[in-house]
Structure 1
Amino acid sequence: RFSAAQSYYTIFYLAQAMLLSKGLTFSKHSAVVASYGKEFARTGLLDPKFHRYIIDAQIVREAGHYGEEHEAVTEEQALKSFQWAEEFMQAVKEYLGS
């Protein structure tokens, strides 16, 4: 559960950094997710799959934090979230020129 949450926050803060590179800042998670989709996924600046990663990682994190016991995050879900975070981090580094 903790691992999935950390992966989500990695993805979320990377999305915030991408938006900040365009001079955009938002305080709500939903605004970051929506704006990332508008600015990067829909325009094709980055592969739209990364927008899906943000959405799916948030769902996994929320299930782990707020879901019923039967909705516990599985090891497979946590690993997938971690892989998404790694892949997104690489794409962000390439985009930002790091």
Structure 2
Amino acid sequence: MKEHSRKLFAKAVDTIEGAEGLLNMDKPEIAAGRAYYAMFYVAEALLYEIDLEFSQHGQVIAAYGKNFAKTKELDPKFHHWLRGAFDTRILSDYDVDADISAQLAASLINQAREFLQAAQLYQEKKGTKK
């Protein structure tokens, strides 16, 4: 695995831990945003492994969908989760009346963790095939 991808995976781990801490501090809106960023880092790491880099979130999400969900390299549910988490992050960041529940934030954190684990396992399996 490329060093940059390793760093992105590590950043995803730290971001999930941060999201959990924020949720424990009764900050579900911020925790939900951090859960999205953890998923975003995972998607970036996977794309970097196939020599793709993008400057916008929408580009990363679309490229992940094209290269991993559509091809079923990874379960398409992860793309669905990434898109949903992005929408929640936008709502929590820009809508002052947004009401992001602790339950939703916890669900996004769990999705981020599952996505990270699946991506790491995928990369490990890919590494052993070389």
Q: 1:40, 1:48 within 8 Å by CA — same for their partners in 2?
A: yes
Pick the aligned partner of 2:111 from 81, 84, 87. 84
Which residue identity does 1:46 align to in structure 2?
L
Alpha-carbon offset, residue 68 of structure 1: 3.9
- What do you get for the CA RMSD once the two structures are aligned? 1.1
- Write the mapping of 1:13-92 to structure 2, written as runs, cut at 5 A: 13-69=41-97, 71-92=98-119
- Structure-1 separation of matches of 2:44 and 2:118: 14
1:32-67, Cα deviation, whole Å (9 max, x unpaired):
000000000000100000000100011111111112
Residues 67-96 of structure 1, C-alpha deviations (whole Å, 9 max, x = no match)? 241x22111110111011010010011011
Identity across aligned pairs (percent)? Answer: 37
State the SS of the aligned residue for 1:85: helix
- Which amino acid is the alignment partner of residue 89 of structure 1? L
TM-score under structure 1 normalisation?
A: 0.94
* Match of residue 11, structure 1, among 39, 50, 55: 39
Q: Which has the higher contact order (CA 8 A, sep 6+)?
A: 1
Task: State which drifts further: 84-93 or 71-80.
Answer: 71-80
Number of residue pairs matched by the alignment:
97
Tell which structure's C-alpha radius of gyration is larger.
Answer: 2
TM-score (norm 2): 0.72
Structure 1 residue ranges, 4+ long, deviating more than 2 angstroms after superposition = none
Deviation at 1:19, TM superposition (A): 0.3
- Aligned partners of 1:67, 1:80: CA distance in 2, in Å? 20
| Aligned: 1:95 with 2:127 | no
